[in-house]
Amino acid sequence: MRFKYCKEGHAMDPSWKLCPVCIAPLKGWLVRLGEKHTGEVYTIHEGKSFIGSGAECEIRILGGNLARQHAFLVVSDICSIVDMGNGEPLKINNAVLVKSALIDGDVLLLGDFSFKIKLL
Ligand SMILES: [Zn+2]
């Protein structure tokens, strides 16, 4: 299937007028850590979001040795993350975890990249 992409880079069916990820309420950001990467942020919206290098991922991260589908976030009143077991193990605050709730300020290691989660 061919995709088109919204302004935030989410894959969309070419027939869709609105991006279903972007119209969900904004819940926070993944902020990439490391001096060179200041300002590199990925938005987190309510609902389920896949994180990985694949075009179908709502949070698509390239260049960090992530699996196509590396992990997913589920965000409602709380935010949780699940490692899909397809790549390097997910670390949260330096601990290897398959599944965890996340709070504002937690540091995630996804592939080779570290991120701080900012939750609204
Ligand atoms: Zn979008």
Interval 38-70: pLDDT, tens:
668 999 999 999 999 999 999 999 999 999 999
What the chain holds in terms of domains, given with CATH numbers, is 4-119 (2.60.200.20)
CA pair distance 99, 87, nearest whole angstrom = 14
Is the Cβ–Cβ distance between 72 and 49 less than 8 Å? yes
Measured in Å, residue 12 CA sits from the centre of ligand 1 at: 8
Query: Per the structure block, which two tokens stand in for 99?
Result: 């599944």
> pLDDT of 56-106, one tens digit each?
999 999 999 999 999 999 999 999 999 999 999 999 999 999 999 999 999
pTM for the structure as a whole: 0.90
Residue count of the chain, please give it: 120
Instruction: Count how many Cα atoms sit within 13 Å of the Cα of residue 77 in the half-sphere of its side chain.
Output: 0
Q: Ligand 1 centroid to 24 CA: how many Å?
A: 9
Q: How close is the Cα of 3 to the center of ligand 1, in Å?
A: 12
